[in-house]
Structure formats: structure tokens, C-alpha cells
């Protein structure tokens, strides 16, 4: 009737919302159902918070990885004997990036290095190749059809070749650079800018002492066989020019580094490209 003071009925959505919350609140605090529901709500809130944080921090994380990658590249460049006289040109024209077709070993000048994301390409069947399991010693399954390499020249001579490498370690995929002298046969440096190996064990791939062991090692024997690698135990006198000691207490990481180095220097990696350089 007009003038009756009756309680206003809540709208349908509001009634359902209050009914839903009210039912949860009215449950016994020590009941299993309420405990599970509260735990689920907390987990959902936490996952939203973590996901949001990951999205917000992603640019900073990527920037840090890029900075580490650049530092790793420059560290290898600096190991080249006599580089001090060239270092003022390292960030300029002296170091050039090229895209290499890994199947042929030829430089593909139709592609710009800055436009190639080899990690993304490795996931695209149209821009990558599957590695047969019997040859996939690096454990990468697929690789991009193209990779970016860095060449440093001085007085018209090739002085340094820097190759991106990656492969499975013990607890993670290792990403790094391998530097070779202009003969495409002498190691200048090996360094990793991203990995998740066990600190104090496999994480020693970052240690200056172990990285220094690679300097001066030879890739091929005089008869052209691939010999570079990590020794199982101490290298013998015959293998010393080609092998480094493994990491103490990190057998699986050492073997992973051995495998990824041999893969990328072999026929399924940069082998065809390096053979072209050696022939020239």
C-alpha cells in the first residue's frame, strides 16, 4: 500500500553475492569446507598478485638479461691478445653482426641481425629444424635455421669470431658465447650469461678460474677431427691442447658444457660456417 515502510529488496546480483559470502561466513571456523574455501581464495589472490608482479617486472628482467649478455660478449672480446689497441672501436665498426644460414654456412645478407630472435625462431617449425635424437647431444631438440654471429676485424684481417651457444646442463639450459680466434680453431673465451645451475657446483661455469681454462684450447686436431671438450678426469698429455678439466663436484654440468660446445662447433651447428672461414 502507498506509504507502507517495507524493506527494499536487494537486486538479484547483490542478493546472490551477499548470500554466497554469508554462507561462507556462517560456516564453522574449524570446518573442512570453510578451510578449503579460504585456502583456495588465498591461493587465487596470491596467483593473481604473482602474475601481476611478473608482468610488471618483465621489462626490467629482460633488460637485466640483455645487460648480462652484452657484458659477457665484451668480456670475450677483451680476451683477444692485443685487443687494448682496438678496444676503442669494439662498440663501433670493428665488431659486426651477421646472420648465418646454419645449413649452408653462408652469411644471409637479406636478414638483419637485430630482427632475428633465434630463441623464438627455434619454436617455429617454419624457421627451425628438428635435431635427431641421436645427434642432439646438447639437448635442445630444435634449433633456429639462422643464428647471429659477431666478427671482429683489424687491418682487413679477421681477428675474432663470437658464436652464441646453448644447451642443457644439470638443472637448466645454459646460454652463452664462445669466442674463437680468426683461424676459427683457437678458443679465446667461453662464458655463460644465463643459467640455473646449482650455486657452488655447476654454477662454477661463471667462475673466472674455469672460464680461463678454455683460453687457447684447440677445436680441431691436425687431421680435422673435432677434439674440443671437457675431460673426464684430468686431461692426458695428448688431449691437453683440446680439453679442459671438469668442474669439481658438477659432473653433469661439465658434461652438458662439453656437449653443447661440441654440438655448436659440429656439423649441426656452426661447423659449415667455420669450415668456410678456414678454407678462406
* Chain segment 220-238, per-residue pLDDT in tens: 999 999 999 999 888 889 9
pLDDT of residue 79 exceeding 70, the answer is no
pLDDT at 153: 82
- Choose among 208, 115, 215, 117: nearest CA to 160: 215
Q: Is residue 17 part of a domain?
A: no
pLDDT of residue 81 exceeding 70, the answer is no
Q: How far apart, in Å, do the first and last CA atoms of the chain sit?
A: 103
Burial class of residue 252 (count of CB atoms within 10 Å of its CB; 0-12, 13-18, 19+): middle
pLDDT at 155: 76
Q: Is residue 33 part of a domain?
A: no
Which pairs from 72-78 meet CB under 8 Å and 24+ separation? 72/176, 72/177, 72/191, 72/192, 72/193, 73/150, 73/162, 73/177, 75/189, 75/191, 76/160, 76/162, 76/177, 76/178, 76/179, 76/188, 76/189, 76/190, 76/191, 77/152, 77/160, 77/162, 77/179
Q: Is residue 14 part of a domain?
A: no
Confidence of residue 87 (pLDDT cuts 50, 70, 90): very low
Q: Is residue 160 part of a domain?
A: yes
User: Which tops the pLDDT comparison, 58 or 139?
Assistant: 139
Q: Is residue 32 part of a domain?
A: no
Predicted confidence (pLDDT) per residue in 9-56, tens digit: 445 555 554 566 666 667 776 667 767 777 777 777 677 666 665 566
pLDDT of residue 219 exceeding 50, the answer is yes
Predicted confidence (pLDDT) per residue in 160-171, tens digit: 898 999 999 999
∠ CA 79-80-85, rounded to 5°: 110
| Cα–Cα distance for residue pair 121/109, rounded to 1 Å | 18
**Per-state percent for the chain, helix, strand, coil, to nearest 5:** 40, 20, 40
SS3 223: coil
Number of domains in the chain: 1
Cβ atoms within 10 Å, residue 262: 19
pLDDT at 70: 61
Q: Is residue 8 part of a domain?
A: no
**Listed range (10-14, 96-100, 176-180) with the worst mean pLDDT:** 10-14
Residue indicated by cell numbers 665488431: 95
User: Which tops the pLDDT comparison, 257 or 30?
Assistant: 257
Contacts of 280 (CB under 8 A, 6+ apart): none
Q: Is residue 40 part of a domain?
A: no
User: Which tops the pLDDT comparison, 260 or 195?
Assistant: 260
Predicted confidence (pLDDT) per residue in 114-132, tens digit: 899 999 999 999 999 999 9
Range of the domain at 177: 82-279
Mean pLDDT of the residues in the chain: 82
SS3 231: coil
- Mean pLDDT over 133-147 rounds to 97
pLDDT at 1: 46
- Choose among 227, 230, 240: nearest CA to 210: 230
Q: Is residue 97 part of a domain?
A: yes
Amino acid at each position: 500500500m502507498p506509504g507502507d515502510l517495507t524493506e527494499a529488496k536487494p537486486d538479484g546480483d547483490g542478493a546472490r553475492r551477499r548470500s554466497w559470502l554469508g554462507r561462507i561466513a556462517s560456516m564453522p571456523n574449524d570446518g573442512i569446507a570453510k578451510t578449503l574455501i579460504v585456502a583456495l581464495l588465498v591461493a587465487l589472490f596470491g596467483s593473481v598478485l604473482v602474475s601481476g608482479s611478473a608482468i610488471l617486472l618483465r621489462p626490467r628482467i629482460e633488460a637485466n638479461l640483455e645487460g648480462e649478455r652484452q657484458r659477457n660478449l665484451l668480456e670475450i672480446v677483451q680476451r683477444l691478445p692485443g685487443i687494448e689497441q682496438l678496444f676503442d672501436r669494439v662498440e663501433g665498426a670493428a665488431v659486426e653482426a651477421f646472420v648465418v644460414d646454419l645449413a649452408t654456412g653462408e652469411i644471409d645478407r637479406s636478414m638483419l641481425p637485430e630482427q632475428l630472435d633465434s630463441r623464438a625462431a627455434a619454436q617455429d617449425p617454419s624457421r627451425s629444424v628438428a635435431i635427431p635424437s641421436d645427434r642432439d647431444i646438447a639437448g635442445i631438440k630444435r634449433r633456429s635455421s639462422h643464428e647471429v654471429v659477431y666478427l671482429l676485424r683489424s687491418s682487413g684481417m679477421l681477428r675474432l669470431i663470437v658464436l652464441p651457444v646453448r644447451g642443457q646442463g644439470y638443472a637448466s639450459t645454459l646460454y652463452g658465447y664462445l669466442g674463437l680466434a680468426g683461424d676459427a680453431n683457437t678458443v679465446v673465451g667461453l662464458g655463460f650469461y644465463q643459467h640455473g645451475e646449482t650455486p657452488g657446483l655447476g654454477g662454477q661455469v661463471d667462475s673466472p678460474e674455469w672460464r680461463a681454462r678454455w683460453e687457447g684450447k684447440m677445436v680441431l686436431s691436425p687431421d680435422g677431427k673435432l677434439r674440443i671438450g671437457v675431460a673426464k678426469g684430468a686431461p692426458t698429455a695428448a688431449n691437453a691442447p683440446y680439453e679442459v678439466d671438469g668442474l669439481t663436484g658438477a659432473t653433469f654440468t661439465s658434461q652438458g658444457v662439453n656437449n653443447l660446445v661440441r654440438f655448436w662447433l659440429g656439423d649441426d651447428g656452426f661447423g659449415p660456417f667455420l669450415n668456410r672461414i678456414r678454407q678462406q
